[in-house]
Structures are given as structure tokens and as C-alpha cells.
Amino acid sequence: MSEEAVHRALGMTDAEYDSLLAILGRDPRPAELAMYSVMWSEHCSYKSSRNHLSRFPSEAPWVVVGPGENAGVVDLGDGWLAALRIESHNHPSFVEPYQGAATGVGGILRDVFTMGARPIALWDQIRFGPLDIPKNRYLFAGVVAGIAGYGNAVGVPTVGGEIAFDPCYSGNPLVNVMCLGVMKREQLVLGTAGEAGSIAVLLGKPTGRDGIGGASVLASASFDEESGTKRPSVQVGDPFEEKKLIEACLELYEKGLVVGVQDLGAAGLSCATSEPAARAGMGMDVDLDAVHVRESGMTAPELLMSESQERMMAFVAPEQVEAVLSVAERWEIDARVVGKVTSGDILRIRHDGELVAEVPAASLTESAPRYDRPISQPEWLEETWNNVLDHSEAPDVALTILRLLDDPSIASAEWAYQQYDHMLFLNTVVGPGGDGTLLRLKGTDKGLAVSTDGNGRLCLLDPFRGGERLVYEAALNVAVTGANPMALVDNLNFGNPEKPEVMWQFRQCIEGISAACEHLGVPVVGGNVSFYNETDGIDIHPTPVVGLLGKAEPIPLRPPRIDAATDDMELWLFGPDVIDLAGSSFEWVLHGHLGGRPTAADPSVASAVLDLAIRLAGSGMTPVLHDISDGGLAVAVAEVCIRSGVGAELEVSDWRDLFSEAPHRMIAGVLPANAESIQSLAQDAGVTATKLGTFGGEHIEIRTPDGEHVVALATATSTYHDAIPRRMG
Amino acid sequence: MVFPGSNCEHDVVHALQLLGADAEIVWHRETDLAGIDAVVLPGGFAHGDALRTGAIARFSPVMETVKAMAESGAPVLGICNGFQILCEAGLLSGALIANRDLAFICRMVEVEVIDTNTVLTAAATVGQRLRIPLNSYEGNWVDPSETGRHVIRYTDDPNGSQHQAAAVANSAGNVVGIMPHPERATEALLGSEDGRVLLEGFLGSVSANV
């Protein structure tokens, strides 16, 4: 291979290679070229997105650590902090679903416990092509098994998430995972190398040849039919090692033995040396011969690029090294002194006694290329907006409800979450299968609620409105558990950024998410960008996923639940009466139609409904409170009926009300004695409250002007529960 | 008892303390358990489930002492992975293999107490039904020797366990293994308090034994 072909094979463009030559003033050594190729990859450097990410509002008085560190950190009060982070492992999961998903879990946990926090919960947002294609069943089963296999064994509960299916993900599944950790304020640790003289200690598993070039080769390129040959770039996870690493690191923090910590994820040692040194404004001497390895004969570039899992780099004052090594020994993990922080800014790396790299540490991070990629609105967009489905004829309502309940994106996800330990740590108050998850924070009266939401169809039809509505939906999911939204992380899954239309979608989604966050006063404390989600030139729908953290204080004693309806309750609807079927499940599942323009969010209505939801949840007067989203009111009511084992009777003035997915709406189950108080709460909040009917019986009976529509509860229940298992066989 | 890879130890301590007990975590390399009246082996993945669940943990230094305590009549309880370890260590009869449907199961199950002559079931009544979360992959108890005493059974059959056994005791009743997690069912806020009667019985046996 000729000299210049090497950088191309490593995923570096000719122009990037030229700027590397300018930084070094000479040809790079092989190890240096390897380091720059991974550190300047899209995955590590955010070179196409960085200019746009600064748009997100990221400040609030309770933000302790904003974007740019391993995880965002917010102040929960009373000396408690929460750390949160979301990441994608889309490409590895397509190549090898079990290990791709498993190492995604491992990586996000390290991001969180790197900050000093104990990871207490995980949420997975996974998207696949339709299950009638065998390959998609294989991917779905493999990803779920990987999440379960790693998460359960590492001992962190998976308490919620999202599962969705759409043909656009057939060649490119999305596997996102969010983690929440908590800590006392004094345990906060940053990813800094500290002062000159600090010692770098590499903890955890030996380094091997797995995952070499994962960030540049896999995560930053598109797929084609040859993708199977990329399997050696996928890492292999070992949850047992990670569990020991978590406990060892938490003990190090508790004893105050470390100055800073950086996990080894994408770009491995290249990143874990250069980033902490650059953050500290320091240099570092690193000895690769001291690195404990799994196989002999590894070259310097391989050692620097390896993405072997379950490794951490700790920076330690010289007098604490012995103590650190003995903590590692107690937890039965390997630990080696591999380097020393130096004044100046040069990262020097030796291997086999020879100097293999000598570069400014910050040039690997801060001098990474930045692209202002061309942006243009897709030409097809307006035509799509005008492509409106004709709704003049009423459908068979009962059949429509059953078709929607049978849609795997709407149906019960129990098949997946029964495989996840979602109860460990005794914090799960409201677990998977409802709206937001509600966890208690032991030793306090605080509750932590999280909702993760994405909606590719909505964001395809209008990325600004879609992005905005995602935030309001997540906020409402959190609010119905009684929590106030306080911080957001985002995972931006998009197609090829070299296409101006994709960059336009990207920018618009960021604008929409930002607008909603600004209105709600919710800071964006971290995020992740995954580009090149395309296969054979076809991009996925723009699919940003938001993860919203809320705090309930005090935690409601009897928080609303989706499964708490009884036959003595009234059924109420809160929120505006708006019909919006653009991008809805009704149009897509029943008619295969994707067109029209979704309604914009209404910020003042959103705030009013959120306030009301939080009040109602805290009041204990609404045992059931459920956000209306995919499938509309009809599906929301059916979900409550199925989960509670009780029927319902209701009336609407237009069949389209049943399937509208307009934002800012929720239903409630209310005891008649409380109906009056609830109405006056709604009135005070300025939210329309409508009594739709009552719960009870063994049928879901709906009256519209077109007639009466009846679905047997038993049929609805079996349809809802069997939709996924029946397809998975 | 904590082995590398255990993960329910904090939950067990939390639940026992909630019920008024003194509980502390002991590392698997300890051999001196002086001052300790009873032992709980918590759930998790001791030694990463390497080889077989519990297969390595039975060789941990602490297990010699646990065996001696069991033989002297001290209450010993294994929950989930702890149950698997007790079987591997020969303190309980039988073995735990993969669930019938070859999938991990995490959900609330209903169980029925069928024998109250053990340290775990002492405070319960025969026929009492309890809702307790199950959380395991290898929860399917098999005992070709038919010598194990099954003392709690599932009312449905989630995993194929012989006699639908959810908990098994030795003949003396002081060593009990249970697959569902009673420590996950001690507070109404989390969905069930039915595990209390089991853990209270266990703590009662501790005071009776001292």
C-alpha cells in the first residue's frame, strides 16, 4: 500500500492528512497516523456537528457539568448529584447485534461511573426494520439478548426505553442507550490528567486486538453489502470485568485516591491519554510496554487504537499509587502504571524502547477538523406536505384499534423487558411499560423520572416541529409521574452528513429541540451524534432521541400508573382538542401513508398541561394518568384497559379524535368523588378537561357520530401482548 | 457474603435493615465469621457465572466457614445466584439449569408456601400466597435424587422447575435456597410487601438460634 493510501484506509481524507502534515511539520510516524485517524474520526471529533451543537441551551443554575465531559452532571439538592449520558452503538449492532448492544451498555456505564457516580439505571432505545424480514428478527433478538446479557450481569437495571420498527431501519438499526448515575457531591471526578507528576494508571482488562479502528472504520462510515467483513472492528464485552471495575473505581473515589479519570471507549488509549492531558493543559509520557496485553506482538498503532472494553485510566498523585494498586488487587482487577503527566503540552509515547509518537496532546482533540457542511431543505419536502390523506370516509374503528395494537411499535414490549432485570437496587417505583420511569433516591424524599423519546416519521415530515414535540412529549411522560423536567441528553441519529438535505434535517431538529428546551428552561447537558446511518445510499429518517430527567420532590406516595384503572373510575381527557394525523400511526400502519405536515407544538399549552400533570400526579387524585402519543386517544385508552384488566365506555364527537396524535394531551382515571376538584385544578391551569366516559366492563365501547364500535377486552389484550412474540416465533 | 460479580448485596442489606436487623457485607475471601449469626448469599453473577452458575463461588475461601456454620445449625439463606451456589456447594440438593424457555425472566410471580418448617418459612402459613419478583436465567431446579425439600412453589410454572419449586431446604430446614427475590418485595412503594413474612421469619430464626 502506498504511503497516502494508508491514511485513506484509516478513514482520513487527503485534506485532513495535509492539515496533519502542517501540525507536525513532518510525515507522521505510523503510530501517530493511527492516533489522528481515530481521534479525528466523525465519531470522536464531531467534526460535522460541532458547529451546530453549540446551539443547544446548556446552562442552568443546577448544571454542575455541561456538555464536553464524559457525562452531564446536575445538582439534585441536599448534596446529591445525578450524572446522565446517552450513546449510540448503531453500526456495531448491525455487524454483530449481541456484542454491539452489550458493549454499548458497557460503554455508557463507564461514561457515568467515570464521573464518580454509581450507575443506577439504563434505558434502551432500539429501532429495527419490520419483523417479517428474518434478518430484522435476528438483529432484534440479538440486541435484546445483548442488552440483557450485559446489563443483568453487570448489575445495573434496565428500567425502560423504546422499541420501534420502520422499513428505514432495515439496513441500519438504531441502538441507543442512556444511563443515569447518582453520587454525593464530594465524589465528583473529572476527566483531567491533573498536575505535572501525576501518574497514569491503566485499570481493567488487558488490551487486545478487538475493536481496532471501531470509531473510524465502523462508526463513521456507511454500510453496503460488504459490511459483514467489518466484524473484527466490533469489540467484545465482559460484564463481569466491568462489574469489578465499577466497584473498584467507586472505592477509589470514595477514598479520594484519584485526581481524574477517563474511560477507554472509542479510540482507546489514544483518547484516554490525549483528552485528559489536553483538558489539564498538560503533556504526558506514556510507555506502551507497561500496558498489560492479552496477546503478544501487538504493534504500537494497534495498542493505541484498540477498543478493548472494560478499561479505565486513572490519574493519581505519586504518593497514592500504592493505595490505588491495592484497591485494584482487592477487586481482582489488573492495574499498571503506564505513564506520567508532564508540564508542557507534548504527548510522548514509547514502545519497545523507541519513541513512536511525539505530538501536541491538544492537537488530537482541539485541532480536529471542523466542517461547515452545506445545508439545503430537501426538494421533496413541500410536495410531501401537500400529500394529505383523505379522511372523508370513517374507517372501521374497532378493526383499526386492533390493527394498531398489533403494530410492534405500539404493542407490548414485555417480550423484551421481561428479559431485563428492571428491579435491582430497589428503586423502581414505576417501571417499564408505562410513560416515564420513576425511581426513588434512597435516603431522600426525591424521585427521579426519566423518559426517552424519538419519532422518526414526525422528524422526517418536519424536523423542527418533530424535534420540538419530542421534548414536550418526554416532558409530559416525566410529568405524569409527578416530576419536573430538569435536564436533557440527546442522541442524534442521522444519515450521511455529506448530503445537504441530511444536514438541513440535522440543523432543524437541533433548532426544534433547543426551542422547546429554552421554553421549559431545561438545559441540554450532553449528547451524542451518530451520522452515516444509511445503507446503499438510503438514509434513515432523521431520528433524534431525547432522554429527559425530571425530579419529583417529594416523590408521590401513590404515583399514577397505567395499570391502576378500576371499574368505578371516570375517564377524563386533558388538553386541547386538535386533530392531527400527519405522520400518525393511523396513517402509516393502516394506509402506509407518510405525508402532510405535523402540527407545531404550542409552548404555552405545553407548560399548562405539564403543570397540571405534575399537580395531579402529586395529588394522588388520578390513580391513572397517561400521555397520548402513538396511536392516539384510542390506543391510550386501550393500553390503560389492557394493563388494568378493565373495559371502558366513551364517546367522541369525531372518529379522527380517536387517532389524532396532536401533542400536549393525556387521559386520566379518576374516582367520581374527585372529579370536581380535578376539574377546578384543570381550570386553574387553563387546560381543557373533558369527561369522555367511564371505566368498567369487559369491552372497550366507543360511540362516534358514525355509530358504536366495540372491541372485546380479551381480544385487545391478546392482540397487544402477542404482537411481538407471534412475529418472533 | 459478596463474591466478585454479586449484585444484590446492597438490596439485601437494605431490606434486612428495614426489618430491624444488623447486616453487614462480607467479602468472599474472608474466613473468620466470628460474631455472625446467620448468612445470606445474595443474587447476582458470582465470578461472572464462569463455567456454571455458582461453580467457582463454591471454592471461595468464605464457603468453608459457611459450610461449618450450616452444619452447626446456623440459618443460611441463598437467594437466586446464592441458591445456585448452595446447590453447587452441596448444601442443598439438586441443581439449577436454564429456564425452560431459554430466556431471562424478570417479573412478579405468585408463589405458595407449602412447608413452614424452615428458617425462611417459619413465620408464614401453609397455603399462604405471596407476590415476589423473579429475576433469573438459570432458575429451573432439577433434583433427580428427589431428596430436596421443596418448601415454596410457583402457582404458575414460569421456568420448568421440578415440582414447580421456588424454594428448597435441607432436611434440617436451616439451609434454604429461594429463586425469587424476597428482598425486592418489602415495600409497598415498590409494588409488594409479601417478601417481609419470609425475611422476618428468617430473622426470627436467627434470634431463636442464638
Q: What is the pLDDT of residue A523?
A: 98
A704 - beta bridge partners?
A707
Provide CB contacts within 8 A for A369, sequence distance 6+.
A15, A16, A19, A40, A45, A47
* A1 pLDDT tier (thresholds 50, 70, 90): very low
Query: Which residues of chain A make contact with B104, given a CB cutoff of 8 A?
Result: 148, 152, 418-421
* A184 pLDDT tier (thresholds 50, 70, 90): very high
Q: Rounded to an integer, what is the distance from CA A569 to the centroid of its chain? A: 36
* A446 pLDDT tier (thresholds 50, 70, 90): very high
Residues A280, A192 contacting (CB under 8 angstroms): yes
Mutation target for A interface from B3, B29, B60, B104: give the one with most A CBs within 10 A. B104
DSSP state of A206: P
Please state, in angstroms and as integers, the Cα–Cα distance from residue B58 to each residue in A195, B29, B85, B90, B119, following that order: 45, 12, 6, 9, 22
Asked whether the beta carbons of residue B45 and residue A442 sit closer than 8 angstroms, the reply is no
Query: Which residues of chain A make contact with B131, given a CB cutoff of 8 A?
Result: none
- Between chain A and chain B, the number of residue pairs with CB atoms below 8 A apart is 79
Mutation target for B interface from A241, A424, A428, A724: give the one with most B CBs within 10 A. A424
Q: How far is A251 from chain B (nearest CA, A)?
A: 14
- Which residue in this structure is represented by grid cell 496477546? A295
Q: How far is B172 from chain A (nearest CA, A)?
A: 31
Cα angle A683-A684-A685, degrees, rounded to a multiple of 5: 90
Looking at chain B, how many residues does it have?
210
- Residue-wise pLDDT tens digits, A44-53: 889 999 999 9
Cα angle A593-A547-B189, degrees, rounded to a multiple of 5: 110
B184 closest CB neighbour out of A419, A426, A442 = A426
Query: Which residues of chain A make contact with B107, given a CB cutoff of 8 A?
Result: 418
- Mean pLDDT score, A174-191: 96
Q: How far is B54 from chain A (nearest CA, A)?
A: 14
Is B204 in CB contact (< 8 Å) with chain A? no
Residues of A assigned a catalytic role: 43, 89
- Mean pLDDT score, A436-447: 96
Is B160 in CB contact (< 8 Å) with chain A? no
Cα angle A680-A685-A688, degrees, rounded to a multiple of 5: 75
A424 closest CB neighbour out of B7, B47, B137 = B7
Query: Which residues of chain A make contact with B49, given a CB cutoff of 8 A?
Result: 153, 240
Report the alpha-carbon distance of residue A476 to residue A518 in Å, rounded. 16
The x, y and z cell numbers of residue A551, run together, are 425530579
Q: Is the ipTM of this complex over 0.85?
A: yes
* A672 pLDDT tier (thresholds 50, 70, 90): very high
Q: pTM for this one?
A: 0.95
Asked whether the beta carbons of residue A557 and residue B50 sit closer than 8 angstroms, the reply is no
Residues A258, A314 contacting (CB under 8 angstroms): yes
Asked whether the beta carbons of residue B190 and residue A331 sit closer than 8 angstroms, the reply is no
Report the alpha-carbon distance of residue B191 to residue B189 in Å, rounded. 6
Residue A404's SS3 state is helix
Residues of B assigned a catalytic role: 80, 181, 183
A535 - beta bridge partners?
A223, A538
Q: Taking chain B (210 residues) in consecutive chunks of 10 residues, what is each chunk's mean pLDDT? A: 91 96 92 92 90 87 95 96 96 96 94 97 97 96 94 97 97 97 95 96 86
Please state, in angstroms and as integers, the Cα–Cα distance from residue A511 to each residue in A399, A477, A505, A526, following that order: 39, 22, 10, 16
Provide CB contacts within 8 A for B68, sequence distance 6+.
none
Is B192 in CB contact (< 8 Å) with chain A? no
DSSP state of A422: -
Q: Which residue type sits at A217?
A: V
Which residue does chain A place closest to B109, by CA atoms?
A: A418
Which residue does chain A place closest to B29, by CA atoms?
A: A330
Residues A80, A202 contacting (CB under 8 angstroms): no
* A267 pLDDT tier (thresholds 50, 70, 90): confident
Q: What is the pLDDT of residue A213?
A: 63
Work out the number of other CB atoms within 10 angstroms of the CB of residue B85.
31
Q: How far is A635 from chain B (nearest CA, A)?
A: 24
Report the alpha-carbon distance of residue A596 to residue A656 in Å, rounded. 15
- Residue-wise pLDDT tens digits, A215-255: 565 556 665 555 555 545 667 889 999 999 999 999 999 99
Q: What is the pLDDT of residue A229?
A: 52
**Residue closest to B157 by CA, chosen among B109, B108, B205, B92:** B109
Q: Which stretches does DSSP call E strand in A205-288? A: 260-263, 283-287
- Give phi and psi for A158, each to the nearest 5: -100, 110
DSSP state of A140: H
A570 - beta bridge partners?
A670, A694
Cα angle A194-A196-A197, degrees, rounded to a multiple of 5: 100
Report the alpha-carbon distance of residue A691 to residue B157 in Å, rounded. 42
Please give, one letter per residue, the 3-state secondary structure of A162-181: EEEECHHHCCCCEEEEEEEE
Asked whether the beta carbons of residue B5 and residue A244 sit closer than 8 angstroms, the reply is yes
The x, y and z cell numbers of residue B63, run together, are 464457603
Q: Is the peptide bond before B4 cis (omega within 30 degrees of 0)?
A: no
- Residue-wise pLDDT tens digits, A495-524: 999 999 999 999 999 999 999 999 999 999
Is B52 in CB contact (< 8 Å) with chain A? no
Report the alpha-carbon distance of residue A271 to residue A45 in Å, rounded. 11
Residue B123's SS3 state is coil
Give the torsion sign (CA, A215, A216, A219, A223). Answer: negative
Report the alpha-carbon distance of residue A679 to residue A579 in Å, rounded. 23
- Mean pLDDT score, A16-37: 94
- Residue-wise pLDDT tens digits, A588-612: 999 999 999 999 999 999 999 999 9
Asked whether the beta carbons of residue B14 and residue A421 sit closer than 8 angstroms, the reply is no
Mode of pairing for the β-strands spanning B129-136 and B165-169:
unpaired
Asked whether the beta carbons of residue A244 and residue B4 sit closer than 8 angstroms, the reply is yes
